[in-house]
Amino acid sequence: MQESKSKRVSVWLWHEDYPHSLNEEELRTPALVLRDVFSQFSLADCQYLLWEWQHCHYRPFLFAFGNGLLTLFRFRKMLNKLLDVAWLITRDVDDGHLFRLCDEKNANHLLGDNYFIALKKEDLWDLNRTLSKMLSKGGGLQWWKNILYHWWGMGVDKSQLDDGGRTNPTDEIPQFMQLILMIEIQYVLAMSLDVTAGESKFAATAYLSREEGQYPFKTLMKMFSKWEYDSLKDNLRDVYYLVDYGMDEGNLSKHNGLIHTQHKMVALAAILAQKEDEYFAKPEIFRFKDEEIGSFWEHDHYVPFHHLSKSEYENPLATLRQFNFAELNRKLHQYTVFLVERHRFELDDEVLSFADLFQQLERLLETLYLFIVQRIRIGY
C-alpha cells in the first residue's frame, strides 16, 4: 500500500470542504479507509443499506435493518469517510496512484462478477473524472454531507415520516444514484488494492435483505397478500402514466412505494431464475402457514394474463429465465430519475424504451403470479 505524496494542508478553518472525518494516518494513506470499509461491508450491503435508507422515511416504519439505528449510524459514518476519501483522491493530482492501480483487466473482471446500479462500463476509462463530476454536483463535499445529515434526521425520527406533501422526495432520487456511483467507484478502487471483500451481513442483493433473499417465495407471498394481483397491475400502469406529468406534485409516497416493490420483485425473480430445477420440486419450498404471509388468494379469483404465450404459460420457470433482471432494475432507476428531470422532453426514444420496460415488468408480474398459484399450499 503506497502513501500519498501530495502535501496535506489543514484548511478546515478557512474552507468548509475538507475531510474532517479522516485521521492523520488516513489523510496520508486514504487507501486504509477503503480497505477498512469494504472488508466490513460487502458491495451488496452498501447498495442495499443506502437504497433502504433513502426509502425508509416514505413508509410507515423506521430504519429496521441489522441493528436498526446502530447499523444506520455506522453506515452514515462510513459514507462520510468515503466522501472524504473521494474528495481527497480527486485532488491528489501529483500522485493519483489509486486510480492507476485500477487497470482495464481488474475493472472488467469486477464488472463481470458484481452487480452495479450506477457504474457503467464507459465510466471505467476515467474514474477520476467520473468521481470528480459526482462530487461537483450540488455544492461540493459539505453539500453531500448535509444530504446525509438530512437523511439521518428523516430516518431516525418517527415524526419526520413524509407522505410526499411536506417535502419533495423525488429530489433525492438523483442524489441516491450519485452516492451509489461514489460507493461503486471506490469499491472498484478497493478491489484493485487486493482488498478481501467483506461478506454480506445485511443484504442478499442490492434490493433484498438476507432474510428476503433466503426465503424468496415467502417474500413474494407477502407482497401478493398485501396487494392483490389486479391492483398490482393497475398500480404498475399508474406509475407508467406518470411519464405524462411527472412526480413533482401531490402525494408521492404511493408511487415511491410501488417502484420500491417492483425492484424487490425483480430481485426475487433473479434469485429464483438462478435456482436449479430440483429446488422447485421440493414441497416445503411452497408450503406456508397463513399467519406467515397473510390472506392470499380465493378460488373464485379471476386471473387475467395478457402477455404470456401458450408455451410461456405452460412453463413459467423457462419464461422466468428469459428476463434480463439487471437491465430491468437499471431501467427502473433510470425511469425514476427521468420523472424528476422533466426538462428532457426531447428524449422520445427514451420514453418509448420506458413503454417496453413496463411491458416487461407486467410480463414478469404475470410469470411470478402464475408460478406461485400453480404451486403454493397454504395451511389455514
How many residues can be counted in the chain?
380
Continuous segment of H or E residues that includes residue 377: strand 377-379
CA distance 365 to 227: 12
From residue 139, give the alpha-carbon distance in Å to each of 16, 87, 91, 146. 11, 13, 16, 10
Residue 188 CB neighbours (<10 A): 23
Distance of CA 124 to the CA centre of its chain: 20
* C-alpha dist (Å) from residue 54 to 36, 286, 319, 346: 24, 32, 32, 29
Q: Is 105 helix (H, G, I), strand (E, B) or coil?
A: helix
Q: Whole-model pTM?
A: 0.84
Per-residue pLDDT of the chain (380 residues; tens, 9 = 90+): 555 554 455 444 434 667 888 888 888 888 899 999 999 899 999 999 998 887 765 554 456 666 777 888 888 899 999 999 998 888 765 555 677 777 666 677 787 788 999 998 888 778 888 888 888 876 788 888 888 887 776 655 555 444 444 445 556 678 889 999 999 999 988 888 888 888 999 999 999 999 899 999 888 888 887 777 778 888 888 888 877 665 544 344 567 778 888 999 999 999 999 999 999 888 888 877 766 666 665 555 556 677 788 888 888 899 999 999 999 999 999 888 887 776 555 556 777 788 899 999 999 999 998 888 777 765 54
pLDDT of residue 312: 85
Which sign does the torsion angle of CA 54, 148, 204, 43 carry? positive
202: Cβ contacts below 8 Å, ≥ 6 apart: 45, 48, 49, 65, 66, 71, 209, 210
Phi, psi for 289 (deg, rounded to 5) = -90, 150
Q: CB under 8 Å to 372, separation ≥6 — which residues?
A: 217, 220, 221, 224, 286
Distance CA 226, CA 296 (A): 8
Taking the CA of residue 352 as centre, how many other CA atoms within 13 Å lie in the half-sphere pointing to its CB?
4
Would you tell me how many other CB atoms lie within 10 Å of the CB of residue 375?
Answer: 14
Which ranges in 274-347 belong to alpha helices (H)? Answer: 290-293, 310-314, 316-320, 325-340
